[in-house]
A and B are shown apart, each in its own frame.
Chain A
């Protein structure tokens, strides 16, 4: 059930009508049933996994809370982490590790055979697993009190607006909103409707149209095409597509939650305009990057090994490798994680050495420097997205070869490039306006003529020039 389908619209209208007529406790129960129905629309068989994760974490969190003995508290924490990571590991990484195991032994002439059965990846598993792990760790760290009622906790794990592709919500933020009666403020309705509308526009007009161009290109380095210029256009197009697609999902999730009086966290803050890689990761998939920071980076950085703390830049690389693997069981995601980690570590080193000189540059020179830095960061991100997209090392090698050693531009490519930029233009304008803002509220104070122009133009583009619907890309993670 995609957010941009009539099926979801009908589902949400029904849920919303019921929601408005129920009391707090009944609202929570109804939302839990609705969330399970929503998930079942993908594949009801995997509801069992959500239930297993929910029961484990509910049980472990209470056991942690009820014990003062450090050893017991830690044992329950590890039980929760092991159960959750085992589910994730089996369903997401089993084939990857088995295949690599077999390939490794094949190097020594040992022929092993992979099991014949195939494991289907349950939708949203990486998102809700990370959410439940963070909850138990927060209870262990005494940052969150366990939810008293099992059914309320079950709603925290499965809340349908953010169940399959985030934002990955923390217990500190979402649980109190579930446990306390909610009031729906007028601003929440306005903002919620706007976020849903803007998310639909980004998905239907920008992401899916650009997706159609990408499909038409196929492999930008296939025999007969073989040109680095097309690889570059392809990288830009995919970067715009994945950003619009994923941020659209987050916007619609936040919007639907707001309509019911919930506040979910902001997941993207104009990352394409970031002037350096560090800033990109402060602005891209914020719920995951802050998760990685709080539950991986800080523990690794602050735990001495043989009396010494690890070098933070090394930890950045390790955590980004893990983040790459989180995206998928494939070497290209690991390579992408490594690329991002190394770039970030290099930036940290470079920035520490040059920042004092940068502070001395002011005025137009500083503005020019920021612009150049933004373009460089954007291109580094676009190169990274090729690693993310590639299906094999051969394909990636071919793209990189043509990009750097067989680069030329022709009219056809230029036309394609401008088509992509024209589709992304509303996003670029919107994100440029939003770059220094905390959230969307300021937009409602723009002159009325601008707001109407924005609405009619985007509605026209979406309805008349919207592309054929496709599933959200991040569902596969």
Chain B
């Protein structure tokens, strides 16, 4: 299955918004540069769920070395990582 840039961003936004809403009750607009991990919106437990959901949604494999702050702290970083994997 192939995804264009807008589809990637929309689906990542949906996945993240759903997890964050469940975990924190946050219902506001997610800013692409908002800090998700350092900002306390995602912790290590929900991060694992996010990784699993992204893997299933985009049929990609995210290796453990890739679970880093650089790849997951902002939506922009997540978009970038997934785009690189799908490229």
Contacts and interface: CB of A to CB of B under 8 A. Distances in A.
**A and B are interacting partners:** yes
A365 interface: no
A293 B47 CA distance: 12
B51 A312 contact: no
B59 interface: no
Nearest to A299: B64
B48 interface: yes
Nearest to A290: B44
A143 B65 contact: yes
Interface in B41-75: 43-45, 48-49, 51-52, 62-65, 67
A313 interface: yes
Contacts of B25: 355-357, 359
Contacts of A293: 44
A313 B45 contact: yes
A302 B23 CA distance: 19
Contact of B45 (A141, A348, A359): A348
B10 to A, nearest CB: 24
Interface string A47-59: 0000000000000
Size bin of chain A's contact surface = 20 to 34
A297 B44 CA distance: 10
B24 A359 contact: yes
A351 B48 CA distance: 17
Given A352-B23, A355-B24, A359-B24, A316 B45 contact: yes
Nearest to A142: B65
A299 to B, nearest CB: 6
Contacts of B26: 356, 359
A312 B45 contact: yes
Nearest to B63: A141
A344 to B, nearest CB: 9
Nearest to A144: B65
Interface in B1-47: 22-26, 43-45
Contacts of A313: 45
A348 B26 CA distance: 16
A297 B65 CA distance: 13
A302 B48 contact: yes
Contacts of B45: 312-313, 316, 348
Contacts of B51: 302
A302 B52 contact: yes
A135 B70 CA distance: 21
Given A141-B63, A142-B65, A299-B64, A278 B43 contact: yes
Contacts of A351: 23
Given A302-B48, A302-B52, A356 B24 contact: yes
A328 to B, nearest CB: 25
A457 B2 CA distance: 67
Nearest to B23: A352
Which 7 A/B pairs are nearest by Cβ-Cβ distance?
A356-B25, A301-B48, A298-B64, A312-B45, A355-B24, A141-B65, A143-B65
Interface of B: 22-26, 43-45, 48-49, 51-52, 62-65, 67
Interface of A: 141-143, 278, 293-294, 297-299, 301-302, 309, 312-313, 316, 348, 351-352, 355-357, 359
21 contacts: A141-B64, A141-B65, A142-B65, A143-B65, A294-B64, A297-B48, A298-B64, A301-B48, A301-B52, A309-B48, A312-B48, A312-B49, A348-B43, A352-B22, A352-B23, A355-B23, A356-B25, A356-B26, A357-B25, A359-B24, A359-B25
